[in-house]
Chains A and B, each alone.
Chain A
Amino acid sequence: MNDFSIEFPRPEDLVTLLDEGAHNFLVISAPNFEERSLEFIRFVGRRLNAIPSTVDWRIVTLQGSNRYDILDFVKARNANRATEYLKATDFLEGREATSHELPYPPRDDDLRRFFRECSEIQAADYSLVIDASAIPRGVLWAMIKLLSNTGPGGAGFRAPKDIYLIYAWAKGYPTHADAENAGRIQDSFAGKSLTETIERSDSVDAVLVTSGNSHLASRTLDQIMQNASKRDVAIEIVNFIRPRGFDRSSHHMLMHQGLSAASTSNDSVSSSYVYHVEHAFKWFETLAEKAFEKLQSNANHTFILAPFGPKILSICAQLVAEDFLMRINHDDGLAKRLADAHRLPTDCISVLNAQKTQYLSTYSIGADGEISILKFSGLTQYGGT
């Protein structure tokens, strides 16, 4: 089973750790065209006058093929602002605010090269802080897997002791947001379509998170329900409500009532609510536990997580899914039953995402000041898949 642990520290506590200077940190800010990609720098900058030398702060931008379109200019501008924030009032105490441009999507070699360039801070045990607010989920995951598979320095860099993933909440979303993720819904492990994911199982547990892109959640719900007559299907619709953002959450639910109605009109569909990232993570774990029990008695069961936003919940879902997979791999009896049923472990668990097909906006608007942090430790025990 996994020996890594997950916590949800407060941002103020992280700032205190950065300030104390007792431990090395490599901090990665990744500004893009979203305003909230600068929020963590501002958050720290409002609280500290300077950053000690135990903190190595890097600015990373991802460069795709569109070097001269509006979004790219906005991204470049934000990267400049991030640099200025770090240079302002000698925040880095004379040290450079080093920028790195990685190609998008980055290959593993590109990531290795980057981490090697940051190797100085890695001389001792260090923690990695990544502002994940605007990093594409795939890139983030690639970084984490690369680091978790890294030995003690052989690759020219070493894995951190912990990773802090920072997520700054947006103030709002443009009206085009829902139209942007109109592409294929697919499994992030094996790249299979949703249909392919469920067609080989006779029993499905699905968890749909509705708080991001609800059109995708609706489509997923429809597709699963279309197959419900041939399968034992149980769907949990999870609504995320931020305690001090109830108005926005309730407006979101207002605009996507079809999902609420589904749990009224259908016995296979139930709904629940979560109020904090940690709450969501623990609820996903609870639902995963139930699904695992079903899998243990039915090798043809599939557990689907469909976390269509916000991103921090997608990360939680991914972690729960990875843990689910590891549990399968560590259960010899189950592994054998799966083999008998001609199923791979990755056939039993799926985390869905959608291909972004169009960029119609800056994706999010502003930052509302709230920051969530997910910390995981014991990375080298994590292993990843």
Chain B
Amino acid sequence: MNRPLIKICNVKSKRDLEVVKSGGADVIGVRVLGGAFNPGQRDGFNLSDAKKKAALALEAAQIGLSTSLVITPLNYGALSKVFGGVKLDFLQLHMDVSKEEIDLGEVKELFSNPKLIGLISYEQVSNAQDVRLSHGTDLTVLDWARGGTGRSLNPATLRRYAQAQHANKLMVAGGLDHMNVTDLLGVIHPFALDLDSSVRDSNRDISEARVKRFVGAVRKASSSASKGTGLPYARANRSPWDKILDETIEEHDLVARSKALSITEAKDRYSSSDAALNERIWKALEQLRQFEEVKEEWLEAALIAFSSVTYFPTEMLRSSLRYLHLILHNHLVSLAVEFPNEPERYLNEFHLFANDPGGLTEDYFRINRIHGRLDPARHARVPGVQLLGDRLVDILDCNEIKSLSAALEIRQISEKRTWVLLADQSLSGHSLEGDIERLLKIRDLVNQADRKKMPQIMVLCQVLTNTAENNLKKNSMISAALKKQSLSIDAAIYLDDSYKVQSEDCRYFQSNDQKRSFQELCVWFANKFIKNDKDLERMRSRSGDNLEFGYRKAGLLIARQENCPTDSVPLLWYETSNPNMSNKYRGPFPRVHSRIGNQKTEKTQDLWEHILTHPNIVLKIRSALELARNINE
């Protein structure tokens, strides 16, 4: 049988038996309630009633129905004698067994080894984040504590429970009817369904018609052959759409988030996109769904994650450059620099390096209306720290022309009171750390060459994460310079740890189960796609893993209009490069990589070692400065 067992509870008569049987249900529930229900009884229960129930159970067996005896605390030994000779399929303990003095093994034996069913009350689990079976019973019924209330259970709670347990050990009770059972079976596949009031008529008699209707609904909902047929929207009849609960949508603000993302992205279309974002998300989910090993809860978690992406629109980042320039401006003013309506005088005061030289520098100058960026007399053409290193190599060179040209630029840069290192984003801090360290060392060399020169270093980031900030501060050289205030780090946008999917207080998921599901998906994805992709060899090597959570485990869900950073999880940006793969994948924000494959290790590190440890470097810098000065004079 591929559907849950259906139990009709509180059967009291032969007529009830017949109705249950003809209605198509499988199990009858008979109650012998003791203790508080039958105070004053010698063994805690009504003997005459118990005998009747035992006779019913016998008859049930004869017509092919199973019996579940529902009991509360009473004299189990005495009751077992009444039911001696009856083959009980289930013994349902309507109590919190963890609080009762009951030896489950003994009770089971007394009644000739039926399956024991314990009770977990819905009140106990409805608000719990993590729910666990706490009884030693074979099965568990989940119901409102008192039972028989007719109140329905919340599908979201059921699903949470089912994800934590084996659903095939669960009997669900509570307000079930032929309509809500269809929804329920979309969420969970329990062992059995327990009902009572919903199959009774106005006289409180069990109605054959109602039982038939309920059984029919369960059969239909359980039949895979009938799934999806006759439904108008096939696209919604698959994961995650068919199972996602309203509560999940509500808790995660999915409507608002996905709309906001669409609006932002429509205005500022992602550079590598070929369709609207919602469609890209849908396609990505469809691609994931093709893999059998991808669980339904993973897909739901992926939908939540994709809808929660932080997308930085271009104008937000452009505006941040104005703000960052304001920080620089205020710093220069504090040095008693005056700018009487001559914006180009800015360039007398600072040199701008970019962490990733490209359009960002040009944007900075243009947005802040600073003229003369390309005038060699105002701003040396050394846009990045790497090139500054090259200039230092040049002054060590014997070639006079090369050396002189470099000297002029180095002098110009050294004359500036402030060095600015501009970064679009620092998500792990790794790349920025290297540049800051080199600038600090070079500044040190310049200072040794000329004690009057000690430019302030200002790091200005459009976006900076808490992780990056902490990593930078762990560097002893950087930390010392920050303490001395000869270095400052500022950002327009700070992202705290809640933006990481592995974080304890990850903002994207409302439950640990969902977070766990997403993390499992990320690990599966890396194993499936990333591990063997040759194009990502270098990245994997530098990250030290398979990029399960993005480069260096950054765990972010962010994207910018120009490109999606590798610090975001690969589910966002990965695209299968091998056209021959049978199952391809393209994330909603496919990335254009600046480096692919595994190039030989750059000689960058060697170059820097050479410069910084060269025995004559300070002398060469000093000579270069003096040589340049002499020429100028």
Residues on A lying within 8 angstroms of B by beta carbon are 239, 241, 243-244, 246-247, 250, 253-255, 257, 260-261, 263-264, 270-276, 278-279, 282-283
Are A274 and B494 neighbours in the complex by a CB distance under 8 Å?
no
Nearest A residue (CB) for B266: A264
Are B322 and A279 neighbours in the complex by a CB distance under 8 Å?
yes
Are B315 and A271 neighbours in the complex by a CB distance under 8 Å?
yes
Give the chain A neighbours of B326 by CB distance below 8 A. Answer: 276, 278-279, 282
In the docked arrangement, what's the CA distance between A271 and B266, Å? 14
CB distance from A42 to the nearest CB of B (A): 23
A-B contact pairs, 19 of them (CB 8 A): A239-B316, A241-B316, A243-B492, A243-B493, A243-B494, A244-B494, A246-B494, A257-B260, A257-B263, A260-B260, A260-B263, A260-B267, A263-B267, A264-B263, A271-B315, A273-B319, A275-B323, A278-B326, A279-B326
In the docked arrangement, what's the CA distance between A290 and B194, Å? 73
Q: Which chain B residues (242-262) contact chain A, with CB distance < 8 Å? A: 253, 256-257, 259-260
Give the chain A neighbours of B259 by CB distance below 8 A. Answer: 257
**Size band of the interface chain B makes with A:** 20 to 34
Cβ contact of B253, chosen from A241, A254, A260, cutoff 8 A:
A254
13 additional contacts (CB under 8 A) given A241-B492, A283-B322: A239-B316, A241-B316, A243-B493, A244-B494, A246-B495, A257-B259, A257-B260, A257-B263, A261-B263, A272-B315, A275-B493, A278-B330, A279-B322
In the docked arrangement, what's the CA distance between A257 and B259, Å? 8
The total of Cβ contacts below 8 Å across the A-B interface reads 59
State the majority secondary structure of interface residues on A.
helix
Encode contact with A along B42-62: 1 for CB under 8 Å, 0 otherwise: 000000000000000000000
In the docked arrangement, what's the CA distance between A116 and B84, Å? 98
Nearest B residue (CB) for A249: B493
B498 within 8 A of A: yes
CB distance from A280 to the nearest CB of B (A): 10
Give the chain B neighbours of A278 by CB distance below 8 A. Answer: 326, 330
B320 within 8 A of A: yes
In the docked arrangement, what's the CA distance between A278 and B328, Å? 13
Give the chain B neighbours of A244 by CB distance below 8 A. Answer: 494
A257-B256, A257-B259, A260-B263 are known contacts. Are A279 and B496 too (CB-CB below 8 A)? no
In the docked arrangement, what's the CA distance between A283 and B326, Å? 11
Give the chain B neighbours of A239 by CB distance below 8 A. Answer: 316
B403 within 8 A of A: no
Most chain A C-beta atoms within 10 Å of own C-beta, residue among B263, B330, B507: B263
CB distance from B354 to the nearest CB of A (A): 20
State the majority secondary structure of interface residues on B.
helix
B447 within 8 A of A: no
Q: Which 6 A-B pairs have the closest CB atoms?
A: A273-B319, A275-B323, A264-B267, A279-B323, A275-B492, A254-B260
In the docked arrangement, what's the CA distance between A114 and B322, Å? 42
CB distance from A118 to the nearest CB of B (A): 33
B559 within 8 A of A: no
Most chain B C-beta atoms within 10 Å of own C-beta, residue among A246, A253, A270, A272: A246
In the docked arrangement, what's the CA distance between A255 and B255, Å? 11
In the docked arrangement, what's the CA distance between A264 and B322, Å? 22
Give the chain A neighbours of B264 by CB distance below 8 A. Answer: 260
A241-B316, A257-B256, A263-B267 are known contacts. Are A246 and B493 too (CB-CB below 8 A)? yes
B142 within 8 A of A: no
Are B496 and A247 neighbours in the complex by a CB distance under 8 Å?
yes
CB distance from B326 to the nearest CB of A (A): 5
In the docked arrangement, what's the CA distance between A239 and B494, Å? 16
Encode contact with A along B300-335: 1 for CB under 8 Å, 0 otherwise: 000000000010000110011011001000100000
Are A247 and B507 neighbours in the complex by a CB distance under 8 Å?
yes
Are B494 and A275 neighbours in the complex by a CB distance under 8 Å?
no
Nearest B residue (CB) for A244: B494
In the docked arrangement, what's the CA distance between A270 and B492, Å? 20
B491 within 8 A of A: yes
CB distance from B633 to the nearest CB of A (A): 40
Give the chain A neighbours of B494 by CB distance below 8 A. Answer: 243-244, 246
Give the chain B neighbours of A283 by CB distance below 8 A. Answer: 322
In the docked arrangement, what's the CA distance between A279 and B367, Å? 14
A271-B315, A273-B319 are known contacts. Are A254 and B491 too (CB-CB below 8 A)? no
Give the chain B neighbours of A243 by CB distance below 8 A. Answer: 491-494
Most chain A C-beta atoms within 10 Å of own C-beta, residue among B266, B310, B319: B319
Q: Which chain B residues (1-22) contact chain A, with CB distance < 8 Å? A: none
Cβ contact of B498, chosen from A241, A247, A253, A273, cutoff 8 A:
A247
CB distance from B35 to the nearest CB of A (A): 46
In the docked arrangement, what's the CA distance between A278 and B330, Å? 10
In the docked arrangement, what's the CA distance between A303 and B44, Å? 85
Are B316 and A273 neighbours in the complex by a CB distance under 8 Å?
yes
In the docked arrangement, what's the CA distance between A244 and B496, Å? 8
Nearest B residue (CB) for A271: B315
Are B323 and A274 neighbours in the complex by a CB distance under 8 Å?
yes
Nearest B residue (CB) for A253: B260
Encode contact with A along B319-353: 1 for CB under 8 Å, 0 otherwise: 11011001000100000000000000000000000
Encode contact with A along B247-290: 1 for CB under 8 Å, 0 otherwise: 00000010011011001101100000000000000000000000
CB distance from B420 to the nearest CB of A (A): 17
In the docked arrangement, what's the CA distance between A263 and B253, Å? 23
In the docked arrangement, what's the CA distance between A264 and B492, Å? 24
Give the chain A neighbours of B256 by CB distance below 8 A. Answer: 254-255, 257
In the docked arrangement, what's the CA distance between A255 and B315, Å? 19
Nearest A residue (CB) for B333: A7
Give the chain A neighbours of B491 by CB distance below 8 A. Answer: 243
CB distance from A331 to the nearest CB of B (A): 19
Give the chain B neighbours of A264 by CB distance below 8 A. Answer: 263, 266-267
In the docked arrangement, what's the CA distance between A177 and B501, Å? 31
In the docked arrangement, what's the CA distance between A253 and B266, Å? 16
Nearest B residue (CB) for A251: B253
Give the chain A neighbours of B253 by CB distance below 8 A. Answer: 254
Are A275 and B320 neighbours in the complex by a CB distance under 8 Å?
yes
Give the chain A neighbours of B316 by CB distance below 8 A. Answer: 239, 241, 273
CB distance from B98 to the nearest CB of A (A): 39
In the docked arrangement, what's the CA distance between A254 and B320, Å? 19
Give the chain A neighbours of B498 by CB distance below 8 A. Answer: 247
In the docked arrangement, what's the CA distance between A276 and B323, Å? 7
Give the chain A neighbours of B507 by CB distance below 8 A. Answer: 247
CB distance from A276 to the nearest CB of B (A): 6
Give the chain B neighbours of A255 by CB distance below 8 A. Answer: 256
CB distance from B493 to the nearest CB of A (A): 5
Are A273 and B320 neighbours in the complex by a CB distance under 8 Å?
yes
Nearest A residue (CB) for B310: A250
Give the chain B neighbours of A261 by CB distance below 8 A. Answer: 263
CB distance from A236 to the nearest CB of B (A): 11
Give the chain B neighbours of A246 by CB distance below 8 A. Answer: 493-495
In the docked arrangement, what's the CA distance between A243 and B462, Å? 10
In the docked arrangement, what's the CA distance between A282 and B264, Å? 26
In the docked arrangement, what's the CA distance between A247 and B253, Å? 14
Are A241 and B493 neighbours in the complex by a CB distance under 8 Å?
yes
CB distance from A122 to the nearest CB of B (A): 30
CB distance from B278 to the nearest CB of A (A): 14
Give the chain B neighbours of A247 by CB distance below 8 A. Answer: 496, 498, 507
Are A272 and B319 neighbours in the complex by a CB distance under 8 Å?
yes
Give the chain B neighbours of A260 by CB distance below 8 A. Answer: 260, 263-264, 267
In the docked arrangement, what's the CA distance between A158 and B195, Å? 83
Give the chain A neighbours of B319 by CB distance below 8 A. Answer: 272-275
Give the chain A neighbours of B495 by CB distance below 8 A. Answer: 246
CB distance from A159 to the nearest CB of B (A): 26
In the docked arrangement, what's the CA distance between A261 and B494, Å? 25
Give the chain B neighbours of A275 by CB distance below 8 A. Answer: 319-320, 323, 492-493
Give the chain A neighbours of B310 by CB distance below 8 A. Answer: 250
Nearest A residue (CB) for B326: A279
CB distance from A265 to the nearest CB of B (A): 9
Give the chain A neighbours of B315 by CB distance below 8 A. Answer: 270-273
In the docked arrangement, what's the CA distance between A253 and B259, Å? 12
In the docked arrangement, what's the CA distance between A247 and B500, Å? 13
In the docked arrangement, what's the CA distance between A246 and B495, Å? 7
Give the chain B neighbours of A241 by CB distance below 8 A. Answer: 316, 492-493
